Amino acid sequence: MKKTCLISIAILLLATVPPAQAAKCKYEINSVDKFTKVKTQKTKWASLDPWSVIIGSDSYLVAAISADLNAGSKTLGLQLIRQQSSSYRPRDYELRDVIVVPEGARLLILMADDTIVELPALHEVRASAGYAASNGQQTEFEIKTVAEINFALDESDVEALMKQEAKRIRVEAEDHNYDVFIAEALRDNFQWALGCIQ
Amino acid sequence: MKNLISLLTTASILLAGPVTANASECKFVINEVDPFTGKLMVTTAWEPLKSGMSEIVGQAFGDLSDISAAAVREGEQDYLALKLKLSDTTGSRPSDDDLQYAVSVPEGAGLWVVMGDQTTVQLFTDKAVRGITKAKKDGAILVSDGRYLVKSTVIIRYALDAAAREALTQQSATGLRLNLRNRKFEFGYERGHIDFGIHEKSVGDISAIIGCLE
């Protein structure tokens, strides 16, 4: 009984303390080049929402961010995962270029005070989908597209993103605006990620 | 054009009076000020239009199984959106190209809306669209002759200026002519159109959903 209580309290504490203070920085890459002494950091992906419905389609979207530091310059990574199901095996043309973000396309971040931080995409991204049968009869298929986009950050952007929480983002892709409402408990993840690259 | 009007006149009841939307009946999918652009964004729910009589000119299009309408406002610009569901069968397995380009609507393609007093309102698309097409061999119905059932869904958005919006809300629409482009399996591309007579139960629906934007 005591053990259960302790575990419950621990879970409660973990869930309520902001990640920037609670979670230690976690990295995909955290290294210093032995020869050049150049520091490279990339945080682990931090989720922005568990599931968003893409309005006007039968797709779902999962979004996560990471902050990157490379030779003193900072960028923001955004991962969009679009998932949909199909009652037939998807054709090749349905899998090609599902998410296309042109170079310079904007990531708009709506902050808590309704100001907007605007970041341009560093490179064009064309993400194609993969699929797998979700049942043995091969009558249901899961289609998944993962796009990873890097956005430029200058010092004023970092300052604006560190100052307050973010509540919503929009990626202006080629044919579609991807809107993500950031879950209440995850709204300080920008601060967490950017705080981890120094 | 005369043929269209006569077809639609026989299919529909003419209602010449103005139609006003009851705001409480308006259903919205989106109704908010976009926080990024500051524009008011409104999209009504799809309203299925019951068919009085439809005629598809251009054999490439198969059958029209369903048509729905919605009204859209993006800032200052209004649109009438139509969603079409088409079905067809083919004797050989459709190629990816067949499916990818099965139904398309070029930029600038026209829609004629026939009003209750037999005048027409002409609208145009502001961008090209392509239908989403799926094919399956339907074991239950089609296995005997080995034909493939092909279903397409296409959503077309027509720009509305102030004059068109007023004309469409002043009286009821009784028919539609949509210009489309299709890839007929085995026979290449074909242009054609769909004449759709609106059933008396749905006469007034287009006026009503556009009225929901006010």
Q: Do B100 and A93 touch (CB under 8 A)?
A: yes
Q: Alpha-carbon distance A151 to B143, whole Å?
A: 52
Our measurement of the distance from residue B18's CA atom to the centroid of its chain's CA atoms, rounded to an integer in Å, reads 22
Residue A91 in contact with partner chain B when CB distance is under 8 A = yes
Task: Name the residue facing A93 among B30, B36, B96 (closest C-beta).
Answer: B96
Please check the confidence at residue B18 and state whether its pLDDT lies above 70. no
* ipTM for this model: 0.73
Nearest CA in chain A to B38: A114
A-chain residues near B134 (CB < 8 A): 88
Which pLDDT does position A55 carry in this prediction?
61
Structure confidence at residue A7 (pLDDT): 47
- B36·A55 Cβ contact <8 A: no
| Integer Cα distance of B199 and B204 in angstroms | 10
Window from A69-73, A184-188, B91-95 with minimum mean pLDDT: B91-95
Angle, alpha carbons A139-A130-A51 (nearest 5°): 85
Q: Tell me whether A35 touches chain B (CB under 8 Å).
A: no
Q: Which stretches of chain A are assigned E, i.e. beta strand?
A: 27-32, 39-43, 46-53, 60-70, 73-86, 99-101, 106-111, 116-120, 125-127, 129-133, 141-152, 166-172, 177-181
- Count, in order, helices (H) and strands (E) of chain A: 5, 13
Closest approach of B205 to chain A, Cα-based (Å): 21
Q: What is the pLDDT of residues A172-198, one digit of tens each?
A: 999 788 999 999 999 999 999 999 997
Q: Is A88 close to B135, i.e. CB distance below 8 A?
A: yes
Q: How many CA atoms lie within 13 A of B165 on its CB side?
A: 18
Q: Do B96 and A91 touch (CB under 8 A)?
A: yes
Contacts of A168 in chain B (CB under 8 A): 35
Displacement of CA A72 from its chain's centroid (Å): 22
pLDDT tens-digit profile of A31-48? 999 999 999 999 999 999
Tell me if B135 and A93 make a contact (CB, 8 A cut-off).
no
Q: B157-182 pLDDT, tens per residue?
A: 999 999 999 999 999 998 898 887 76
| Cross-chain residue pair B136–A91, CB shorter than 8 Å | no
**What are B127's two structure tokens?**
């961008």
Interface of B with A (CB under 8 A): 29-30, 35-36, 96, 99-100, 134-136
Contact criterion met (CB < 8 Å) for A88 and B136: yes
Give the pLDDT confidence of A131-170 residue by residue, as tens digits.
998 877 777 889 999 999 999 999 999 999 999 999 999 9
List the single residue in A with minimal CA-CA distance to B137. Answer: A88
- Greatest Cα pair distance, chain A, in angstroms, is 57
- A91 CA: distance to closest CA in chain B (Å): 7
* Cβ atoms within 10 Å of B59's Cβ, excluding its own: 12
Question: What is the Cα–Cα distance from B14 to A14, expressed in whole angstroms?
Answer: 67
Contact A91 B36 (CB under 8 A): no
Residues of A in contact with B135 (CB under 8 A): 88
Put simply, the answer to whether A108 touches B36 (Cβ < 8 Å) is: yes
Task: Check pLDDT > 90 for residue B153.
Answer: no
Residue that is written with structure tokens 């591309």 in the block: B189
First-to-last alpha carbon distance for chain A, in angstroms, is: 43
Cα–Cα dist B119/B113, whole Å: 8
pTM for the model stands at 0.75
